[in-house]
Amino acid sequence: MEIVCFDMEGTLTPEIWEQIALNTGIDEFNKTTRDIPDYSDLMNFRLDVMKKHNLKLSDIQEASAQLDLLEGAEEFLNNVRQNFQVVILSDTFHEIAKPLMDKMGHPLLLCHNLEVENDEVISYKLRHKQAKKQAITAFQSIGYRCLAAGDSYNDIQMFEVAEKGFFMNAPDKISSSYPDIPSFHDYNDLENAIKENSQFIK
């Protein structure tokens, strides 16, 4: 059996923090790991902006609930599930991802947690600095082949250890820096590439 490990935001769903930027008019929230590759630095930046503008967890949850999957992502996931196990490896947080998990049919989600007091985000708890890589190597240690797809710098760690990695919806400035990693902007093309790299689909 094989597992396909997906990044979530940008790959299958819109960016939650970009929706927060839209809702609040605060442009700083448009920054993602495409702009600040180190996730701890990015989250520290976001928490500072939240504190400055007195934004709460409920504000983030409201933005998440407004989002739908990217066009074609739901059908794509349903197709992939017919032949593979699906896992979401994301730098999002359990506290804000639930509405999108509902729309994806509740795949296994491995991500981080926020520390919250009275609706205020105090801090966050990262599973591991390279949680995506750790998850894939753990799956491999019990005999699974893993394929991976993502859109940003923090997904390179998955590609380093997966049997095959793919960019999906990555900006040219990122994908062009890694020319050996196939890059797609169409879910049908990605689905075909996943099948072509499977050992079990003939």
> Which is catalytic among the residues 2, 7, 95, 151?
7
Write down the catalytic residue from 9, 91, 155, 191: 9
Catalytic, 71? Answer no
Contact 181, 159 (CB under 8 A): yes
State yes or no: is 7 an active-site residue. Answer: yes
Dist. CA 149–CA 8, nearest whole Å: 9
Distances (CA, A) of 87 to 34, 65, 79, 201: 22, 21, 14, 19
CA distance 195 to 156: 21
Are the C-beta atoms of 97 and 8 separated by less than 8 Å? yes
User: What is the rounded (10 degree) CA torsion for 189, 106, 95, 40?
Assistant: -30
Q: Which residues are catalytic?
A: 7, 9
